[in-house]
Structure 1
Amino acid sequence: MKDYIEERTLEIANYIIETKATVREAAKVFKVSKSTVHKDVSERLPKLNPIIYEEVRKILEKNKAERHIRGGFATKMKYKTMD
Structure 2
Amino acid sequence: MKGLPEERAIALGTYIIEHGATVRSTAKEFHISKSTVHKDVSERLQKLNPELYGKVKQVLDVNKQERHIRGGMATKNKYAKQKKNG
TM-score (norm 1): 0.95
Q: Identity of paired residues, percent? A: 59
Name the structure 1 match of 2:32: 32
- Structure 1: 4+ residue segments shifted above 6 A: none
Structure 1, unmatched stretches of 5+, are none
AA matched with 1:40: D
The higher radius of gyration belongs to 2
Task: Give structure 2 stretches of 5+ with no counterpart.
Answer: none
Q: In the alignment, which residue of structure 1 is the partner of 2:61?
A: 61
Which position in structure 2 is the counterpart of 1:11? 11
Aligned pair count reads: 81
Task: Please give the root-mean-square deviation of Cα atoms over the aligned residues, in Å.
Answer: 0.8
Aligned-partner residue type, residue 75 of structure 1: T
What TM-score does the superposition give when structure 2 sets the normalisation length?
A: 0.92
Q: How far apart are the structure 1 equivalents of 2:4 and 2:41?
A: 15
